[in-house]
Amino acid sequence: MIIDRPHFYEPGRPQTNRILVPYSDIMLFAERALFLYIYGWIDYRDVWNEMHQTHFSFFYHFPQSPDRNPQGFYAEPSSYNYET
């Protein structure tokens, strides 16, 4: 499943985006037959009006026995997280 849709944000206005994942896919994530990644970037201007970009990537971890890492998002792969 790939969701590709641009979002435009106004400065100072928080916004939440939700992604609905079918239960059947969640079971595949837990079995590690599928993996859930979120990747995106933000284009912005700094106080000197110069353009910059921040890229981010998150992997959702579903723990399995004997895995002790908690369930949730991790900033991985780290090579996808950078800024200009």
Q: What residue ranges do the domains of the chain occupy?
A: 36-83
Span 71-81, pLDDT tens digits? 777 777 777 66
**Predicted confidence band of residue 38 (pLDDT cuts 50, 70, 90):** confident
How far apart are alpha carbons 27 and 59 in whole angstroms? 16
Amino acid at 79: S
Chain-wide mean pLDDT for the chain? Answer: 78
| Total residue count of the chain as it appears in this document | 84
Percent of the chain with pLDDT over 90: 7
Question: Which of these, 37, 42, 48, lies nearest to 8 by C-alpha position?
Answer: 42
Span 4-34, pLDDT tens digits? 566 667 777 877 777 788 888 888 887 888 8
| pLDDT computed for residue 49 by the predictor | 92
